[in-house]
Chain A
Amino acid sequence: AQSVTQPDIHITVSEGASLELRCNYSYGATPYLFWYVQSPGQGLQLLLKYFSGDTLVQGIKGFEAEFKRSQSSFNLRKPSVHWSDAAEYFCAVGGATNKLIFGTGTLLAVQP
């Protein structure tokens, strides 16, 4: 079955600290992978995506993610978190179909 697991429901980091949000997927074909961010009461904004090629992808707002096929993972990272990064983050997987499957999200809190 196709699925996305985000094992961390809630993460708190200090401003300026590094961040890694975990994402594991199960997909029967070549996956296309995405990270979206959602501010409270808002829609989802695309942070970055991986289709093929270089397994380290850069996104907006200083985020990056690394695709590791052997681990079925696509973890999101940022070297130094800003208070404005507090939001909910969703990992998603899709393929040559019309649908994306989303994880349950990780809520990020940033301490001053």
Chain B
Amino acid sequence: SQTIHQWPATLVQPVGSPLSLECTVEGTSNPNLYWYRQAAGRGLQLLFYSVGIGQISSEVPQNLSASRPQDRQFILSSKKLLLSDSGFYLCAWSVLGASGANVLTFGAGSRLTVL
């Protein structure tokens, strides 16, 4: 069966410090991978998605970047964190089904607090 792992689960970082959140998927090949951010009282905002190694689409201009160095690994990074980067970050994967739809499966999330 497929599983998705995110780490770290919780992170407290000072403003201006770097960030690296990692997500890995097991039990599937060539998944679509996604990073969403959930800010307090708001919905889910799609940050990045990837359909293959080295292929990254950015949805919102911001202080973050994403990379996909391996088929089932997706990394969210920042060189210098801002206070506004605080939030709950969710990684998800999908495989295009026979119906033509992507059904997303989410990880448990990473809570980032920037002080």
Flag if B107 contacts A43 (CB, 8 Å). Answer: yes
Q: Mark A1-42, 1 if CB is under 8 A from B, else 0.
A: 000000000000000000000000000000010101000011
Among B44, B101, B109, point to the contact of A51 (Cβ < 8 A): B101
Number of interface residues of B (CB under 8 A): 27
Flag if A96 contacts B103 (CB, 8 Å). Answer: no
Tell me the smallest distance from the CB of B71 to a CB of chain A, in Å: 16
Chain B residues lying within 8 Å of A101, measured Cβ to Cβ, are 46
DSSP majority for the B interface? strand
Among B34, B36, B90, B103, point to the contact of A46 (Cβ < 8 A): B103
Among B36, B43, B49, B96, point to the contact of A104 (Cβ < 8 A): B43
Q: Which residues of B contact A (CB under 8 A)?
A: 32, 34, 36, 42-44, 46, 49, 51, 57, 59, 90, 92, 94, 96, 99-109, 111
Chain A residues lying within 8 Å of B99, measured Cβ to Cβ, are 32, 51-52
Chain A residues lying within 8 Å of B90, measured Cβ to Cβ, are 43-44
Q: Which residues of A contact B (CB under 8 A)?
A: 32, 34, 36, 41-46, 49, 51-52, 90, 94-105
Chain A residues lying within 8 Å of B92, measured Cβ to Cβ, are 44
Chain B residues lying within 8 Å of A102, measured Cβ to Cβ, are 36, 43-44
Among B36, B43, B109, point to the contact of A41 (Cβ < 8 A): B109
Closest to A97 in B: B102
Tell me the smallest distance from the CB of A92 to a CB of chain B, in Å: 8
Closest to B49 in A: A98
Flag if A100 contacts B109 (CB, 8 Å). Answer: no
A-B contact pairs, 15 of them (CB 8 A): A32-B99, A32-B101, A34-B103, A41-B111, A42-B109, A43-B107, A44-B106, A46-B104, A98-B32, A98-B96, A99-B59, A100-B104, A101-B46, A102-B44, A103-B43
